[in-house]
Amino acid sequence: MKKIHCLNPIAECGTKLFPEDYVFTDQAAEADALLVRSASMHEMELPENLLAVGRAGAGVNNIPLDECAQQGIVVFNTPGANANGVKELVLAGLFLASRDIAGGLAWCKENAADPQIAKTTEKSKKAFAGCEIKGKKLGVIGLGAIGAEVANAATHLGMEVYGYDPYLSVNAAWRLSRNVKHITNADTIFRECDYITVHVPLLESTKGMIDKEKLDMMKDGVVILNFARDILVNDDDMAEAVAAGRVARYVSDFPNPKVANMDRVILMPHLGASTKESEDNCAVMAVQELTDYLENGNIRNS
């Protein structure tokens, strides 16, 4: 019998896969294994008998990896399980940045009930005009499960896609469409792309990686998308580049207060993996990994 504690609600299609003699406990301190989504574990005391943590998601920056390693606690994540969900929202971000969908929707909410609407529609059509993404250059930094999905999908939208990943795995390389140009120097992406999207894990080396130096290299009018982790982007430097108009749009899946009130900034509250499908896939994978470890000692995605 093993005790499982969930630090966040985890989809039932996953939790019901635990063997019958497993029980859920309200007390983290009693748990043999923890299931977590986005809750931070950095402040919590790790349970004494904890054997494993299953992160229902890709990033593991909410988990104290060093402390877990010191205590022999195995940490699993679920790479790829939410990649489609995140990819779809990144594609939405490309469109939101290129067409003034948000402006148009807000304008209609305010004006569409007016019987005289036809008179002003022509004017607003001009005010909300945008550009097309077909033929534009997209740079994808980080070609793991999510980056590779984004890169491939963008080729089908007619974009010229440049991909950069210093640690490109053989698996990821296989997943890439032939139409994605593999770039070996990230500066080429910073200098040449019209749209740049970041899909790297949060590490000491990637914190603030989109900073003034990189922003200064970029084309005037570049669009930057960040659906990975907020602090990959230096928010002071980004605010300055947006204010100066050098960044035409910053689309981020994080409600960052430094840029929240700026025109040309589009923010979301980390919705990338918030789909039923992604939550189900992550829950199933995390529970399978935990069970396989607790029952058989097998370790995958650790």
10 Å Cβ neighbour count for 276? 10
Looking at residues 213 to 272 of the shown chain, list those that interact with ligand MLT (rule: CB under 6 A): 270, 272
Residue from 4, 36, 52, 58 touching ligand MLT (CB under 6 A): that is 58
d(CA 144, CA 274): 19
Amino acid at 146: I
Which of these ranges, 44-52, 57-65, 93-101, 149-157, lies near ligand MLT under the rule CB under 6 A? 57-65
10 Å Cβ neighbour count for 106? 12
d(CA 288, CA 284): 6
Look at strands 222-226 and 52-55 and give their pairing. unpaired
Of the candidates 8, 11, 3, the residue with the CA atom closest to the CA atom of residue 285: 11
Asked if 201 touches ligand MLT (CB under 6 A), the answer is: no
- Copy the structure tokens of residue 175: 């997943």
Asked if 49 touches ligand MLT (CB under 6 A), the answer is: no
Asked if 120 touches ligand MLT (CB under 6 A), the answer is: no
Shortest Cβ distance from residue 86 to ligand MLT (Å)?
6
Which of these ranges, 53-61, 100-108, 117-125, 257-265, lies near ligand MLT under the rule CB under 6 A? 53-61
Looking at residues 267 to 286 of the shown chain, list those that interact with ligand MLT (rule: CB under 6 A): 270, 272-273
Which element (helix H / strand E) includes 177?
A: none
Residue from 17, 30, 51, 59 touching ligand MLT (CB under 6 A): that is 59
Which residue has its beta carbon closest to ligand MLT?
A: 57
Strands (E) located in 38-179: 52-55, 74-76, 137-141, 160-164
Asked if 38 touches ligand MLT (CB under 6 A), the answer is: yes
Nearer Cβ to ligand MLT (55/136): 55
Asked if 54 touches ligand MLT (CB under 6 A), the answer is: no
Asked if 11 touches ligand MLT (CB under 6 A), the answer is: no
From the number of C-beta atoms within 10 Å of its C-beta (0-12, 13-18, 19+), residue 214 rates as: buried
Using CA atoms, how far residue 244 sits from 237, 249, 262, 265, 294, in Å, is 11, 12, 11, 13, 54
Of the candidates 55, 82, 73, the residue with the CA atom closest to the CA atom of residue 287: 55
Which of these ranges, 55-63, 121-129, 156-164, 168-176, lies near ligand MLT under the rule CB under 6 A? 55-63
Asked if 294 touches ligand MLT (CB under 6 A), the answer is: no
Nearer Cβ to ligand MLT (3/270): 270
Query: Which residues of this chain interact with ligand MLT, rule CB under 6 A?
Result: 38, 57-59, 82, 270, 272-273
